[in-house]
Amino acid sequence: MQRVESEIARLIKEINYDEVSRLFGMLSGGKRLRAKLILKIASSSEKAPLLAAIVELIHGASLLHDDVIDEATLRRGVASVNATDGSKTAVMLGDILYSKAFTELVAFERDIARIIASSVTALSKGEMMDVKMAGEFNANEEKYLDMLYLKTATLIEASAEAAAILAGKDVSSHALYGRNLGLSFQIIDDILDITSDAQTLGKPSMNDFVEGKCTLPYIYLYRVLNDDEKKKLVSLHAKVLDEQDALWIRKKMQEHKTIEKSFELAEKLSNEAMNAMKDDVELVNILQTMIKRSY
């Protein structure tokens, strides 16, 4: 991973603007999941650290914009750029990072450049759908999973796919691995939003629903509630929950096992990904560690 960090530092230096270096230095790098995947899949390729750095810059740019859109004050445990330096600066820093990433992408073969570039259109579409869907209660599972795929899974899928091309490995099984890893990662994130406490999350528990996001445990709950209860759940959507209402939702979720049902889907998706990568112990380990996050 050190080689990826060096590539990122080199690209930031090439931007040749102190203000960008200062702001970038304030960001926390995060888990670097996409970079790790690229390095693992394309360990044989000299170009893997650069591809990983490009993808991390794109991911970083998308989070800068996302925090402006979500008006978030915290990112990866530190104050967001929009909170410290304002939204305009956060948008411009995002623009600089992803355009620099695209400039570097030109050095890769056409298929790789196309896969990464088109995944950014997909993730931007996913973000727009997410914002639009938060405006009203959504009980449609398929619609939710389509949005999740675009917003979170496409860049991970594209990373695995592009790395497979770079390494001359099977493209479709790696794409499936990346897609299912991304989806199950996000479903587990949605579960943790409900099951973890505020201290662990660094934000209030059940914040997704307060922000209007009807994640799988809420969608599954809506289906099994009676008419009066359905009305109650919809009336609580996108509002700050008092303790009693939060408790009612949790109790109903427990009664109808909707967290377990959501977890089963995450597990099913990750088992499919593991089967696609049976012979690759390291890729299977990434999935297993991720599934364990939810315990």
Q: Which residues bind ligand FPP (CB under 6 A)?
A: 58, 61-62, 65-66, 70, 72, 94, 98, 120, 123-124, 127, 151-152
Report the nearest approach of ligand FPP to the CB of residue 6 (Å). 22
Proportion of the chain in helix, strand, coil states, percent, rounded to 5? 75, 0, 20
Q: Where does this chain touch Mg ion (CB under 5 A) — which range of 64-72, 244-252, 267-275, 287-295?
A: 64-72
Query: What does 218 interact with, of Mg ion, ligand FPP, none (CB < 5 to 8 A by kind)?
Result: none
Q: Own/partner pairs for 242-249, CB < 8 Å, 24+ apart?
A: 246/205, 246/206, 249/206, 249/209, 249/218, 249/221
**Residue 87 site contact among Mg ion, ligand FPP, none (CB < 5 to 8 Å, cut-off depends on kind):** none
Q: How far is the CB of 128 from ligand FPP (least distance, A)?
A: 8
7, 66, 157, 208: residue in contact with Mg ion (rule CB under 5 A):
66
Give Dmax (Cα) for the chain: 61
Query: To the nearest whole angstrom, how small is the minimum distance from the Cβ of residue 165 to Mg ion?
Result: 30
**What is d(CA 294, CA 191) in angstroms, rounded to the nearest whole number?**
8
Q: CB of 232: closest distance to Mg ion in angstroms?
A: 27
The beta strands (E) that lie in the chain are given as 74-75, 78-79
Q: Quick one: what does residue 104 bind among ligand FPP, Mg ion, none, with the CB cut-off 5 to 8 Å set by partner type?
A: none
Task: Between 134 and 249, name the residue whose CB sits nearer to ligand FPP.
Answer: 134
Cβ–Cβ under 8 Å, residues 273 and 184: yes
**Could you give the CA distance from residue 141 to residue 220 in angstroms, rounded to a whole number?**
8
Residue among 70, 273, 293 nearest 190 (CA) = 293
Identify residues 67-86 at the interface with Mg ion (CB under 5 A): 70
Whichever of 66 and 157 has its CB closer to Mg ion, that residue is: 66
